[in-house]
Copies of this chain bind each other. A is one copy, B any other.
Amino acid sequence: MTPWQSYLSEQDLAVIARGKFGRRMGFGQRPAVVVIDAQNYMVGEHGNDAAWPSSCGEIGRAAVSAIAQLVSAAQERAVPCFFTRFELDPNGADMGVYRRKRDLLNSEHWCLAGTVGAQLVPQLVPGPGDIEFVKKKPSGFHGTPLLGYLVERGIDTVIIAGGATSNCIRATVFDASSWNFRTIVPQEAVFDRIPISHAISLFDMDRQFADVVPLAQVLEYLAGSTPLSSRCSSPESQAGTGPSAA
């Protein structure tokens, strides 16, 4: 059973059937993992969430375990992992119109540059070929070098984890699928503060823009993947020869 099934009516299901929505994109040949905002400020602290204004609490901490499994499986197969961190300047100069929507909170437990809140959660450690970078907006693609990193690595499948499902995950999913990557969301590895926003976002994304699947299915896929290093030759070895069949 999907996380959203209980929210839907008979009529909703009929609409989906008529439009032929929700086929599977399927996995491609060259995956990458993109971990969105898996930072301390997003998951808070057991027993002390009230001190972390944007914490997603236990739900976030459970997802972090799933994300750690995903990252670990990817790193074992040399599948590249990208880690975004949402970070704002304490002076507010880079916050943009979002500052009209929300206060710039003066807290070590939020996403201000230089604070503990803005750091990656300790369970996640980028590997040698991985890249960590800052973003200023919901999507991991917006105003960042992410897309170029994926193009260079010949990625065709983007596996997206992190939070929050209805904000940054969703924006990143829109962009990944709009750039024509097969877009995969392992459902246990994304999280949100609001249960209904989480469930309905998963439903909406699965209908049109991504495959929302159990983490186990993604782990199985990664386990069967050939390490990227053996598929991608180095700059030196590729230069100047004709494009023979892959």
Q: What residues make up the interface of A, taking CB atoms closer than 8 Å to B?
A: 7-9, 12, 15-16, 18-31, 50, 53-54, 89, 91, 93-94, 96-103, 105, 128-131, 136-139, 142-152, 154, 156-157, 166-167, 170-171, 174-175, 177-183, 193-197, 200-201, 203-204, 208-209, 220-221, 223-226, 230-231, 235, 238-246
Contacts and interface: CB of A to CB of B under 8 A. Distances in A.
Contact of A19 (B22, B27, B53, B197): B53
Contact of A144 (B9, B143, B167): B143
A99 B7 CA distance: 27
Given A25-B101, A143-B147, A197-B200, A131 B225 contact: no
Given A29-B244, A99-B235, A179 B20 contact: no
Contacts of A131: 89, 93-94
Contact of A226 (B54, B89, B245): B245
Task: Say what secondary structure dominates the interface of chain A.
Answer: loop
Contacts of A54: 19
Contact of A243 (B53, B144, B221, B243): B221
Contact of A28 (B20, B139, B171, B243): B243
